[in-house]
Each structure stands twice: as C-alpha cells, then as structure tokens.
C-alpha cells in the first residue's frame, strides 16, 4: 500500500486529535487578531480566543456561510496583508455570485499535497502520465491536480478542458495512465473514444473524478467503458480546492485530510451537530491555512461521516459520496427532489447520464419534465417501443421521487455536453 504522507494519513486517532486541537487554537487566534469580520462574529457571541482551548470547543464557534463570503468579497476575510498572498482562485459560480479565495505559497503547497495524496491513493506514482482536463484558470480543478501531479513526480499533461480531438490524440500518443476531470466530461470522453473505436489504444488505468455529484452507477459505466478504476475526489474553492477528501483503493467513501480540514455534520435546519453515520450538511474548519482560513464553513453539501476502519490503512475519517447540495434540491409541487435520485433511476435502467431536468410554473402549478437521451441502439426502436420505455421510466421515477414527472426520451447526443460541471437542471420558475 502506498501513501504520500503516511505520518498524517495513517496517524493514530489520539495524535490526530492533538494536532487538530493545536492547529485549531492557533487558527482561531490568527483570525481573531487579523480579520475584523471574525472578531465581530465572535464578539457578538461573547467569545474570545481563550474560549477555544481544544477540539471540544469547536461547537462554540459561529458558522460561516457563502453569504458571509459574498458580503466580505473581495478582501473582508483575508487574514494576512495582501502582499503575502500569491494566488487567487474563484468558485465556479454554480449557485450564484462567485466568491474568491486567497493563497500564500504555503497554502498552495498544502493544497497540492492533498491532491498528491489523492493521486497516490489512486495508484499514481512518478512513473505515471497524468492527463488533467479539468479547467485551468480561476477554477481550482486544473491547478490543484496539476500541482498534485508535480508533487508526486508524475509526468503532467496540462490539457485543460475542450478540444476533444486533441484530448484523444494526446491521451493515446502520450500514453496517459491517469485521467483527471469531471465525471460528466469523463463520460463524454468515453463516448467519443467508443465512437472513434480507439479503446485499444488507451493506456489509462485510473481516473480521478470530482467537482460535481455522480452516482455509483455512473462510476461503473465509466469504469467499464474506459477499462479503469474511477476514484472520487471532493473539494471546494472556499476551503482550498480539490483534495479536501479523496477515495482510496476501497472506493467506498472519501478520506478527509483531517490534519488540514476538520469536518462536522450538522442538521441544516437547526445547526445542531449530528453524530457519525447520520446524513446532514458538511461543515469544514480549515486549520492550517494562512491567507484565507475559514471557521465552520457551511458547504451546503449533504453526506455522512464514518470512522470504520478502512482496509487501505488510512485512519482519516471518511465521508460518503455527496448525495446533493442543499441548494440544488428542487422543491417541486412541495416535494424535495434531488438530481442524484433521478440519475440513479436512469443509470439502473441502462441509460447514459445525459439528461436534463426542466422545471417551470404554469397557472400556479409546477411542471416537471425529465428529458433523457436514448442510446443509439434504443433510438432504432419503434415509436411503440419508445413509448413503452417512457412509461417504464416514469413508473421507476414515481417510485423514487414520490411525484410524477413527464418523461421524454430524446435522440442520442441531442443534449448539450459540458466540459466542466454538467448543467442538469433548468428551473424557469420565477418564485
């Protein structure tokens, strides 16, 4: 078994807790002294750094939300003089105005080390060729995995996204062994590879896919099409970028880099901290960042934490795959609907993950349609057969969601592909 930083990845529980306590106390002092926004938040609760003596006091600290970041934009949460920072990255803006995060050189090193842990956990070493087609630029995906690959000493292909022909050419000519991109782009590349009939020219063995939610079914689909093992990786710009957590050889949940980020699960409605094993909203406290440390940042991502012993030997806590974002949950006719539920039904029924959810409001009633691409084989079916398929899918959707969508099967390749995060939901309701 290989690790990038075994002393952290396989530390005993006690030594990890001691390290977390020490770093937490230091971080709270740092932001209290240097960030007026935090000082005020803490003062409003009658807190001073003396109240935070160990990990057990974490719950006393106030939460921070994306709105706080938007309010403090751009410099309000910067904890060092601007001249100490060397990089700015920004969120994708999936849910509204983008926010920015600042990094010192050390912050970047830590972030890249986290990505290096992920690459090594996926079987990567200096003998690999890492093909990175996450977007480069303000988005953290490209720079994060690029830096991680350098730390591992692998040969790095900084492809960025787009230009499929060139992706396929370099992937085959330069014998890429590890592919890093969003799962939806991986599915698209797999589709293009099949189309070109070049599967046997690939040297890929693993993929590191993240930045958006994907299902177990989608994993199997990509794995079989590309003949690789596909690993999940999670992160968010506010907390650093990809590599906050990563999957190991067990492919059953992502190990959180707890020496840098303390995770908590809370009830999104009450803010109450929930025990391990219970699903809720993920909250992170970064404890080693210099330029942009965030205390108890509410990610709005839903998952479960578990501390069961992992066969890979890592002792880092695991988070389950993200089942949704509290803000991508749709409320349709009063019922909560997550795109991930829809995807699970589709993949179980043998459809590709090319679908779009259309929601509108007509005469005060929500309309709800799911458009799903057929595979080329299905497309040659008769109209009657297609109708029968639609009814079958509708029945499974109703069973999963508790409400009835309109299900429409559309021609292969008729739904726009995304090079970054897929756009699954088009909500035209003006509420």
Interface residues toward ligand ADP, by CB under 6 A: 91-95, 210-213, 232-237, 299, 301, 322, 325
DSSP H or E run through 367: strand 365-373
**Tokens 């306590």 correspond to what residue?**
21
Mind giving me the DSSP string for 224-281?
HHHTSEEEEEEE-TTT-SEEEEEE-TT-SSEEE-TTTEEEEEE-TTT-PBPPTTS-EE
Distance separating alpha carbons of residues 281 and 325, to the nearest angstrom: 8
Nearer to ligand ADP, 210 or 405 (CB): 210
Q: Which does 310 bind (CB under 5 to 8 A by kind): Zn ion, ligand ADP, none?
A: Zn ion
Answer with the entry of ligand ADP, Zn ion, none that 184 interacts with (C-beta below 5 to 8 A by kind).
Answer: none
- The pair of three-digit structure tokens given for residue 295, joined into one six-digit string: 């205390």
DSSP H or E run through 306: strand 305-306
For residue 217, the minimal CB distance to Zn ion (Å) is: 22
Contact 128, 178 (CB under 8 A): yes
**Closest CB to ligand ADP among residues 232, 258:** 232
CB-neighbour burial class of residue 172 (10 A; exposed 0-12, middle 13-18, buried 19+): middle
Measured between alpha carbons, how far is 137 from 127 in angstroms, rounded to an integer? 26
Q: Which is nearer to Zn ion, 304 or 347 (CB)?
A: 304
Residue 42 is inside which H or E element, if any?
helix 36-44
121 in Cβ contact with 247 (< 8 Å): yes
CB of 139 to ligand ADP, least distance (A): 6
Quote the CA–CA distance of 403 and 345 in Å, as a whole number: 14
Cβ neighbours around 110 below 10 Å, total: 20
* Rounded least distance, CB 224 to ligand ADP, Å: 20
Q: How far is the CB of 264 from ligand ADP (least distance, A)?
A: 15
Q: Strand (E) positions, 290-364?
A: 297-303, 305-306, 318-319, 324-325, 330-332, 335-337, 355-362
Token pair in block for residue 354? 């090319």
Q: Is 318 or 325 the residue whose CB approaches ligand ADP more closely?
A: 325
Tokens in use for 304?
Answer: 């479960």
| The entry of ligand ADP, Zn ion, none that residue 314 binds, CB within 5 to 8 Å by partner kind | Zn ion
Q: Return the number of the residue (233 or 248) whose C-beta is nearest ligand ADP.
A: 233
353 binds, among Zn ion, ligand ADP, none (CB under 5 to 8 A by kind): none
We find the least distance from the C-beta atom of residue 263 to ligand ADP, in angstroms, to be 13
> What does the block give as tokens for 320?
């389950």
Omega before residue 43 within 30° of 0, cis: no
Smallest gap from Cβ 153 to Zn ion, in A, equals: 22
Supply the minimum distance, in Å, between the C-beta of residue 262 and ligand ADP.
17
| 265 neighbors 273 (Cβ within 8 angstroms) | yes
Among ligand ADP, Zn ion, none, residue 325 binds (CB under 5-8 Å by kind): ligand ADP
Query: Which residues contribute to the site for Zn ion (CB under 5 A)?
Result: 248, 250, 310, 312, 314
The residue (of 301 and 366) whose beta carbon lies closer to ligand ADP is: 301
Task: Tell me how far, at minimum, the Cβ of 254 lies from Zn ion, in Å.
Answer: 9
95 binds, among ligand ADP, Zn ion, none (CB under 5 to 8 A by kind): ligand ADP
Of 204 and 211, CB closest to ligand ADP: 211
Nearer to ligand ADP (CB atom), residue 135 or residue 405? 135
């Amino acid at each position: 078994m290989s690790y990038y930083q075994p002393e952290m990845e396989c530390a005993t529980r006690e030594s990890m807790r001691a390290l977390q306590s020490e770093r937490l106390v230091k971080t709270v002092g740092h932001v209290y002294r240097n960030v007026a926004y935090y000082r005020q938040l803490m003062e409003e609760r009658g807190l001073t750094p003396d109240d935070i003596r160990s990990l057990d006091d974490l719950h006393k600290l106030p939460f921070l939300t994306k709105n706080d970041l938007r309010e403090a934009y751009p410099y309000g949460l910067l904890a060092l003089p601007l001249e100490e920072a060397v990089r700015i990255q920004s969120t994708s803006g999936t849910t509204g105005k983008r926010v920015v995060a600042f990094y010192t050189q050390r912050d970047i090193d830590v972030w890249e080390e986290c990505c290096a842990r992920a690459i090594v956990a996926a079987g990567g070493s200096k003998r690999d060729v890492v093909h990175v087609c996450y977007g480069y630029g303000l988005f953290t995906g490209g720079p994060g995995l690029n830096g991680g690959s350098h730390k591992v000493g692998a040969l790095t292909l900084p492809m960025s996204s787009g230009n499929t022909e060139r992706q396929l050419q370099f992937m085959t000519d330069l014998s890429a062994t590890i592919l890093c991109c969003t799962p939806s782009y991986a599915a698209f590349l797999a589709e293009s590879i099949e189309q070109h009939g070049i599967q046997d020219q690939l040297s890929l063995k693993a993929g590191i896919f993240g930045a958006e939610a994907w299902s177990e079914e989608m994993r199997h689909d990509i794995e079989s099409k590309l003949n690789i093992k596909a690993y999940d990786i999670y992160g968010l710009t506010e907390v650093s970028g990809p590599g906050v957590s990563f999957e190991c050889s067990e492919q059953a949940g992502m190990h959180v880099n707890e020496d840098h980020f303390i995770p908590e699960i809370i009830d999104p409605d009450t803010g109450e901290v929930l025990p391990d094993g219970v699903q809720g909203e993920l909250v992170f406290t970064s404890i080693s960042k210099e330029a942009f440390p965030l205390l108890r940042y509410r990610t709005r991502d839903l998952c479960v934490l578990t501390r069961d012993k992992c066969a890979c030997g890592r002792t880092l806590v695991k988070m389950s795959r993200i089942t949704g974002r509290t803000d991508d949950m749709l409320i349709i006719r009063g019922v909560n609907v997550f795109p991930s539920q829809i995807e699970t039904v589709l993949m179980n029924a043998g459809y590709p993950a090319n679908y779009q959810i259309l929601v509108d409001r007509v005469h005060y009633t929500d309309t709800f349609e799911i458009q799903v691409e057929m595979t080329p084989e299905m497309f040659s079916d008769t109209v009657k057969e297609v109708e029968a398929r639609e009814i079958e899918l509708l029945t499974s959707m109703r069973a999963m969601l508790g409400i009835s969508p309109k299900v429409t099967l559309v021609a292969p390749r008729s739904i726009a592909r995304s090079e970054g995060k897929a756009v699954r939901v088009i909500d035209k309701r003006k509420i």
